[in-house]
């Protein structure tokens, strides 16, 4: 019989929760993540010895390791309870080796669990297992691969572009995707098109409908003259109801959340970044104080599977039987797991269905309750019956034109009964009571001008979706990929959109040109599959690394020898004159993009923003530059360099595109409904112009 057991987890919050569940006979301590890892100061991979990594105690973690070794010796029995993924398995592996070095007689076992509840923890403790060596090897292979790429490409960037830069294997692919999308956004010029609304009347009933077909073709009207010609043809002709149709549709509930779909939904619905979503999910997973107890509210939040345990299905069906019996299907709903999914964990779900969002409001902060609510709603609704809708549409015919009005209503709410925060905002249109053959009166026709919108920049939600669809990264890496690009200032987040900086574009262009395979989606996805095979099939990882590294290193050496450095080349002379000393200004690339610096440096340290466009105010020879209010605080805006003599300002950033109608510069606006649009800054030009686009003082 064991006298005492030391259980080691990764975080103090998790340790606090689990210790309450186990009681006397157990001590629960935290490793605070990795204690053993590669050093940061050197590559630490033995290329001549099968790519064996050189591990050390992480700087600043020696005291934690020593404390755990001391506690382990006193306990005699150790349970390693790090997360059930590759990183967690590596933490357990290195901990085991470090503890055995101090006491080779220690009894060390591994436990895993998917949720932090008393039942799950006690079951895991009762069924300890060994270290999964395949999973450890997969983590080791990824670590070695990323180290070899990063520690070869980063010095290359230092010598060819700018000191202090770095490049990562997967992050560089994501950066390439973001930069390619940016090129599409920048090159897009809007096209004009028109729509036509008709206002009709039947007795006292008013009917608003939109033109959908003209001469049996979908509407594609390019200019005002064409829309006016159609209106003239319709004048004086009696409208007739040509069709009244009703279409029923079944709506299936969505599958429970995976890491990817949780991040996407939290971004779209709650405005959370991927990093914020994962931080809050970690808190809900590790445990929240509820009255006198501490409870883990959700299952493990890093998963690519929609699988649900039999126990969870039984619990949710029991809850639905008691609360929504009419919405309970005869048999549980099932959801297919993608072929590419590792399926190590079940879907993200609440650990206790009885903890409804309404009951949890008093225990959680505002962000926690939002995330918990969408997880709870998504899971409970996935085990309910389909919703049924009826879409009624009325077609109104005038000559060769068909106008249509449609509206949808629920016949059966089904799973929508429990949906509140995830509910779609729908505009309900009241459909008048009409029958086929009814004659109507024309009140008026309203022509509306529109402009096509270009491709949208990636958001946290759309880049995560893109990464997942292309097999790039894994659930644990989506948020870090975005965070690294932002931290390095290769990408900035504006209006919740990810936009590459000048520095990010330069790096991406260089890597895409010189290392097209390394930063390709196909190659990165293939490497992810190889890492999966190491874990799932026990494939030997050294050969995989060797096959990649030999041609990669050869290309690195070739680029080092042949590629001209653009250091200093990016420093461009300008016509700008330093107002402090009279020396010419030079355009330089800094960490935060291009800026103007005095060529008299270091005697003169004057710097200022790079002009973005010519000032459009008549008689002014100034340039438009980025500005902020005094003190450098507040939102960035764009104004004339001749301020205060010229008080022209724009709250929208000038683009490199010029207006095709008047030649003034276009500004970029973000519309919540239609995304990114461009419009002319000229108040007298009608090219996508609204009064708010400019503000002359």
Distance CA 295, CA 645 (A): 63
Active-site positions read 300
Handedness of CA 228, 233, 235, 238 (dihedral sign): negative
Distance CA 555, CA 568 (A): 24
Distance CA 220, CA 337 (A): 41
Token code pair at residue 172: 């560089």
| Maximum C-alpha span of the chain | 99
- Phi, psi angles (nearest 5°) of residue 248: -90, 145
Counted residue by residue, the chain has a size of: 697
- Strand pairing of 613-614 and 607-608? unpaired
Distance CA 199, CA 58 (A): 72
Token code pair at residue 93: 């592996």
Task: Report the b/e string of 123-152 with b at 16+ CB within 10 A.
Answer: ebbeebeebbebbbbbbbbbbbbebbbbbb
Handedness of CA 654, 656, 659, 663 (dihedral sign): positive
Q: How far is CA 665 from CA 361, 668, 690, 694, in A?
A: 50, 10, 14, 11
Q: CB–CB of 286/11 below 8 Å?
A: yes
CA angle 7, 13, 18 (to 5 degrees): 40
Helical H runs in 502-540?
Answer: 502-514, 521-537
Strand-by-strand arrangement of the 695-696 sheet: 613-614, 623-627, 637-640, 648-650, 695-696
Does the bond joining 602 to the residue before it have cis omega, within 30 degrees of 0? yes
DSSP secondary structure string for all residues of 399-462: TTEEEEEEEEEEEE-GGGGG-STT-------PPP---TT-B-EEEEEEEEEEE---PPPPBHHH
Q: CB–CB of 33/94 below 8 Å?
A: no
Handedness of CA 302, 307, 313, 317 (dihedral sign): positive
Task: Write the DSSP symbol of residue 269.
Answer: I
Nearest CA-CA partner of 290 in 351, 346, 381: 351
The strand ranges marked E within 20-121 are 26-30, 36-37, 45-46, 52-53, 56-57, 76-80, 107-110
- 653-661 contacts: CB < 8 A, separation 24 or more? 653/612, 653/626, 654/612, 654/613, 654/624, 654/681, 655/186, 656/186, 657/186, 657/189, 659/685, 659/687, 660/189, 660/687, 661/685, 661/686, 661/687
The CA R_g of the chain, rounded to the nearest whole Å, is: 31
Q: CB–CB of 430/407 below 8 Å?
A: yes
Query: For residue 44, is it left (φ>0), alpha (ψ between -120 and 50) or beta?
Result: left
Query: For residue 593, is it left (φ>0), alpha (ψ between -120 and 50) or beta?
Result: left
């Amino acid at each position: 019989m064991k006298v005492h057991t030391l259980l080691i987890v990764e975080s103090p919050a998790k340790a606090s929760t689990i210790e309450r569940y186990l009681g006397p006979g157990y001590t629960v301590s935290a490793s605070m993540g990795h204690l053993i890892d590669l050093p940061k100061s050197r590559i630490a991979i033995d290329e001549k010895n099968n790519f064996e990594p050189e591990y050390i105690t992480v700087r600043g973690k020696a005291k934690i390791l020593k404390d755990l070794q001391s506690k382990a010796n006193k306990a005699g029995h150790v349970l390693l309870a790090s997360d059930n993924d590759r990183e967690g398995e590596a933490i357990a592996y290195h901990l085991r080796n470090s503890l055995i070095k101090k006491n080779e007689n220690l009894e060390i076992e591994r436990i895993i669990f998917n949720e932090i509840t008393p039942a799950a923890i006690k079951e895991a403790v009762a069924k300890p297992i060994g270290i999964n060596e395949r999973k450890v090897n997969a983590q080791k292979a990824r670590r070695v691969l990323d180290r070899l790429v990063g520690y070869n490409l980063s010095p290359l960037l230092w010598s060819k572009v700018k000191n202090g830069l770095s490049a990562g294997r997967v992050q560089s692919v994501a950066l390439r995707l973001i930069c390619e999308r940016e090129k599409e956004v920048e090159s897009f010029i809007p096209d004009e098109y028109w729509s036509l609304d008709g206002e009709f009347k039947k007795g006292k009933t008013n009917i608003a409908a939109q033109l959908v077909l003209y001469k049996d073709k979908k509407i594609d009207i390019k200019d005002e003259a064409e829309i006016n010609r159609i209106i003239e043809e319709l004048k004086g002709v009696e409208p007739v109801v040509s069709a009244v149709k009703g279409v029923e549709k079944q709506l299936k509930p969505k599958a429970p959340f995976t890491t990817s779909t949780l991040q996407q939904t939290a971004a779209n619905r709650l405005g959370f970044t991927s990093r914020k979503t994962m931080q809050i999910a970690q808190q809900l997973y590790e445990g929240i104080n509820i009255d006198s107890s501490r409870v883990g509210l959700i299952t493990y939040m890093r998963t690519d599977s929609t699988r649900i345990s039999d126990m969870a299905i039984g619990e949710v069906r029991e809850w639905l039987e008691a609360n929504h019996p009419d919405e309970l299907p005869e048999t549980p709903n099932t959801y297919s797991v993608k072929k590419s999914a590792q399926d190590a964990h079940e879907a993200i779900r609440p650990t206790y269905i009885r903890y409804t969002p309404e009951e949890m409001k008093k225990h959680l902060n505002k962000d926690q309750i939002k995330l918990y609510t969408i997880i709870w709603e998504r899971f409970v609704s996935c085990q309910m019956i389909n919703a049924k809708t009826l879409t009624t549409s009325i077609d109104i015919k005038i000559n060769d034109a068909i106008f249509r009005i449609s509206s949808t209503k629920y016949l059966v709410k089904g799973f929508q009964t429990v949906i509140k925060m995830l509910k779609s905002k729908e505009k309900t249109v009241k459909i008048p009571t009409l029958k086929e053959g009814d004659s109507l009166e024309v009140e008026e026709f309203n022509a509306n001008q529109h402009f096509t919108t270009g491709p949208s920049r990636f958001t946290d939600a759309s880049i995560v979706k893109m990464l997942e669809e292309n097999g790039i990264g894994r659930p644990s890496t989506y948020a870090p990929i975005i965070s690294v690009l932002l931290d390095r200032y290769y990408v900035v987040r504006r209006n919740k959109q990810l936009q590459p900086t000048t520095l990010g574009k330069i790096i991406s262009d260089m890597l895409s040109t010189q290392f097209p395979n390394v930063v390709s989606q196909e190659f990165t996805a293939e490497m992810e599959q190889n890492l999966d095979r190491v874990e799932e099939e026990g494939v030997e990882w050294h050969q995989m690394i060797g096959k990649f590294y030999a041609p990669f290193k050869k290309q690195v050496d070739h680029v080092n020898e042949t590629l001209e450095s653009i250091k200093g080349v990016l420093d461009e002379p300008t016509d700008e004159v330093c107002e402090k000393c009279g020396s010419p200004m030079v355009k330089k690339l800094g960490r935060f993009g291009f800026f103007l610096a005095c060529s008299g440096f270091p005697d003169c340290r004057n710097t200022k923003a790079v002009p973005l466009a010519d000032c459009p105010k008549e008689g002014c020879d100034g340039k438009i530059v980025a500005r902020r209010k005094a003190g450098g605080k507040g939102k960035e805006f764009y104004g004339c360099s001749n301020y205060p003599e010229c008080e022209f300002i724009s709250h929208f950033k000038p683009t490199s595109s010029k207006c095709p109608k008047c030649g003034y510069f276009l500004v970029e606006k973000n519309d919540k409904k239609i995304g990114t649009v461009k419009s002319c800054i000229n108040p007298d030009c009608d090219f996508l112009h609204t009064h708010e686009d400019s503000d002359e003082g």
